[in-house]
Structures are given as C-alpha cells and as structure tokens.
Amino acid sequence: MNSLAEILSLLQVYGDFELIAPEHEQLFAHQRTLDGVKATVLMNWGTSSLSLDGLVTVPSQTTLALCNYSTQDEAGVLRGYEGRIYIEKV
C-alpha cells in the first residue's frame, strides 16, 4: 500500500486536472483524479476568512489529508492563507 505522501505525489504529477472557480480572486482550488482517488486542493490567498458556499462542495466522505493550521474550523470556511488537501475514493 502506498503512503499518503506517495499517493499525493502521484496525483499531483499524473492525475487529471480540473480547475475550480477559476475567476475567483481569493480562492485557488483544483482537483486531481487518478486510479479511483481524487484530491481536492483548496487555498485561500487572502487575509480574511473565505466561505466556500457556492464555490466548492467538499463531500462528507473525504479525508482531510493536509492543512497548514493545527486545528480545523468550520468545514466550509477557509481562514486567511489557509490551505487544505482532501482525499476521497471515487
């Protein structure tokens, strides 16, 4: 079985890429899919909190793989300069 780091590396290099909300000025979000695994990458480039309502839907069956904050606030809100990577099987 591959480690989380190996799975993320393979997804980022070989996974099919889909940009989410490309016109949004504060949110950089994309998904990568490979061999039945999907990574959703969410990054808030602003200093203020950002609601994801209407921009991105994070399915409830996902696993939070990485986050640059030690604690997670609301699932649908990114804090200033917060980045998260969610992993799910599809």
pLDDT score, position 58: 81
Name the region of 54 (left: φ>0; alpha: ψ -120 to 50; beta: rest).
left
Predicted TM-score (pTM) of this structure: 0.89
Query: From CA 45, how far away is CA 58, in angstroms rounded?
Result: 19
pLDDT score, position 15: 94
Report which secondary-structure segment, H or E, holds 51.
strand 50-51
Residues 10-27 have pLDDT tens digits of 998 999 999 999 999 999
Q: Are 27 and 55 in contact (CB under 8 A)?
A: yes
- Three-state SS for 12-33 is HHHCEEEEECCCCCCEEEEEEE
